[in-house]
Structure 1
Amino acid sequence: MNDASRHKLITDLLRETPFASVRDLQVRLGVSPATIRRDIDKLHETGRAKKVYGGISAFEVGGRLAARPYDENRDIAVEAKRAIAQKAASLVRDGDSIIVHAGSTCFQLGVLLARRNLRIYTNSMPLAAYLGEHGSCHLSLSGGELYREPGIIHDPASGAPDYFASRFFVGTQGIDSQGLLESHPLLVKAIGELSTCADEVVLLADSRKFSIQPRNLALTLSRVGTIVTDDGLSDANAKMLENAGVTILIADVGGVI
């Protein structure tokens, strides 16, 4: 197979999935890791895809991944996020093993659970740092490289962790009838992997997220057991969730402590 044929196969693959690791491509194309890395470099140089740690990703429209940096996102809708976190914390029992994903609402949940008798697994660098300094829970961390824009620790080649939880608490950049939507390809990959490690997926999302429509599907609504949101949820979106079998919990933003 020549270079042009491999490059076409790689770009075709990126229309179906937002990220492919070197290992994924090596297996699919039957060539050496060195050849795959040269292909990735060439596709990056020509602007057909983006070279990222561990592999290659599709470009967003305009050539930019549009996920909002964690430091910027944490200061938006803070009261709603804290209220959602308080409501979500009531679902957790002492002795539980849970997964808390990266993101600002999930961070608020982690703060509330820091000194509970729990096992918490997280891929969030900000949350890991907080729990290490202020928490007494049993803490397990994702391994890999630090990605500062989404604030996660991730190894694209490692797959799902060897950890099982009763609940996976996850946020999202946007929501539609398909499910959870993200711009950053590593978040898509991480959410998909971690969702296989828990009995129930609990989505923490303020009502703004229903008006945000990134292009990449991270998780279908059918995989979500419960959503914790605020009272800005519209009737139409509530019906969409109910039709998908998702339990809706509304947080009292006015009652946040």
Structure 2
Amino acid sequence: MSDLERQQSIVELLSSQTFVSVRELQQALGVSAATVRRDIDKLNEAGVARKVYGGVAALEDNLRRRPPSALPFVENRDLAVEQKRAIAMAAEGLVRDGSSIIVHAGSTCFTFGCRLALRNVRVFTNSMPLAAYLAENGTCHLTVGGGDIHREPGILYDPVPGPTHYAAQFYVGALGVSGQGILEQHPLLVHFVKEMSARANEIIVLVDSSKFALRPPMVALPMSRITTLVTDEGISAADERMVREEGVNLIVAEISGRTQ
């Protein structure tokens, strides 16, 4: 990542929160504290962010123009519940017994992952809520990613790569979807998605149809990397056409439980 790309990532992160610490930026960008401080100095000099003790703060004008941002897991879990259940049911049919899969954090992936509790599969996840559920209620083989706890999205993340974990499938959600690919707001989530996608044969995206209307600034994965996208029947004809034209296998789950 170049200096300009890092600094743009910091600005984009500040569009959804008032303050980011040096430590958080180290983890999100994968660079040293010294590099983060140099980037903060440059942003402060350019007048696009404010250098403060321990990190960097957003300017008031920037906060008034916030782009779509992810809700905390506990809030997002109760949105589009029926859509998420339908997507989870359809996605479960893609899981092969005896296989190893990676399940990303997020409420749709959580709903999906809970359905695997009694399946004969190996699950690797960075989701604290999903790990807790499977540990208490499941018999599947469970591996949990280590690292620092990020409470609002409910994830564990280690900026220092640990032992490699390869899987047949990587199930991932997103804050938004466009012709560019799946979109996120937080650089940390982008890093994790890129890392895990390199460790799986198939990338399967689980998103409810409302995500096609959101445009977060960062592309986590281009459409060319996605094998299958599972969404609900609320998807528009234009978005359905866009996904298929990109060569992605599209599964449309109906609320009744049927799929197209």
Q: TM-score, normalised by structure 1?
A: 0.81
Cα distance change of structure 1 residues 147 and 50 upon mapping to structure 2, 3 Å threshold:
farther
Cα separation, 1, equivalents of 2:209 and 2:238 = 12
Identity %: 45
Cα separation, 2, equivalents of 1:159 and 1:168 = 17
SS in 2 for 1:80: helix
* Aligned with residue 207 of structure 2, among 180, 194, 205: 205
1:139 aligns with 2:142: yes
Cα separation, 1, equivalents of 2:113 and 2:161 = 24
The residue number in structure 2 matching 1:21 is: 26
Cα distance change of structure 1 residues 41 and 80 upon mapping to structure 2, 3 Å threshold:
same
Kindly state the Cα deviation for residue 15 of structure 1 after the two structures are TM-superposed.
2.1
The residue number in structure 2 matching 1:5 is: none
- The aligned runs of 1:152-167 (5 Å cut-off) are 152-155=155-158, 157-159=159-161, 162-167=164-169
Structure 1 spans left out of the alignment, 5+ residues = 1-8, 27-32
Kindly state the Cα deviation for residue 90 of structure 1 after the two structures are TM-superposed.
0.6
Question: What is the CA RMSD across the aligned residues, in angstroms?
Answer: 3.2
* Aligned with residue 80 of structure 2, among 77, 80, 85: 77
Residues 45-76 of structure 1, C-alpha deviations (whole Å, 9 max, x = no match): 8873799x9x9999995287822111110101
* Aligned with residue 171 of structure 1, among 161, 173, 178: 173
1:48 aligns with 2:53: no
Cα separation, 1, equivalents of 2:36 and 2:176 = 32
The residue number in structure 2 matching 1:6 is: none
- The aligned runs of 1:38-117 (5 Å cut-off) are 38-39=37-38, 48=49, 61-62=62-63, 66-117=69-120
The residue number in structure 1 matching 2:236 is: 234
Q: What is the count of residue pairs matched by the alignment?
A: 238
Kindly state the Cα deviation for residue 116 of structure 1 after the two structures are TM-superposed.
0.9
Q: TM-score, normalised by structure 2?
A: 0.80
The residue number in structure 1 matching 2:18 is: none
Cα separation, 1, equivalents of 2:56 and 2:4 = 10
Kindly state the Cα deviation for residue 252 of structure 1 after the two structures are TM-superposed.
2.1
SS in 1 for 2:63: coil
